[in-house]
Each structure stands twice: as structure tokens, then as C-alpha cells.
Amino acid sequence: MTEKQINADQLIATIISGIEEVKGNDIQILDLRDIDNTVCNYFILATGTSNTQVNAIVNSIQKTVSKTLKDKPWHVEGAENAEWVLMDYVNVVVHVFQKHIREYYDIESLWGDAKTTVIETSY
């Protein structure tokens, strides 16, 4: 984290903006705060149509968060094959999937107790 404490709402809004910038699909926020023993407070899920778009989404998120909030992910995993990229911003973890991988792992069902917010996109 940077010297100033970044508000989770600011971070989430900035991440969503980065996803929308490159037309990421099926954006959802899972609020995990009321679930015991979770590793973070929020998951953000998004889908890309190809490994090229998944990488574009990841790069857009990193660029937007860095420029707006002067923050960077603590860890990024999965960028090599870009089927499922996990970006760890400590309290907010971003999952960017290709559609078939997202359907296979069905994270939304695994975290069915989470409060889910669907982000409507206009594209």
C-alpha cells in the first residue's frame, strides 16, 4: 500500500473503470466481508473474450489504478497464459477470466453467500 490509505470503494470504482475502458464483460463485485475466514474483503470478476483481451483488461486495470490512486497490485498471477489472471490488491482481489474458464470454475457459486453486485455495461 502507499502512504495514504486507499479507500476500498475508490479502489473498486477505479478497477471497474479500468475494466470498462477495454470493454470487459460480465463484471461482478462479490462482497465477502460478512463471510468468516476470507482472504480479502471483495472479489471483482470480469470476463474477456480472448487471452489478448484478458491481458488488455489486466493492463488497463494496472494503468488506471496506478495513475489514479498511485497503487499497484501486491501480486499478479496467471498472466502467462491469460485464461485466468488474479490481481491481488490485498483487500480487493480481481479475477479476469476467459469465458470458458469462468464457467468451469464458477467462482460465483463457490462464494454463494457473498453479496453480489452486477455492474451493467452499455457496450
In tens, the pLDDT along 17-51 reads 999 999 999 999 999 999 999 999 999 999 999 99
The pTM for the full model equals: 0.93
Fold of domain 8-114: Beta Polymerase; domain 2 (3.30.460)
C-alpha 123/C-alpha 74 separation (Å) is 31
Residue 1 has pLDDT above 90, yes or no: no
Q: Write out pLDDT tens, residues 38-97.
A: 999 999 999 999 999 999 999 999 999 999 999 999 999 999 999 999 999 999 999 999
DSSP 120: P
Model confidence at 6, pLDDT cuts 50, 70, 90, reads: confident
Q: Where are the domains of the chain?
A: 8-114
Closest among 61, 68, 11, 67 to 76, alpha carbons compared: 61
pLDDT at 122 over 90: no
Give the whole-angstrom CA distance, residue 53 versus residue 101: 14
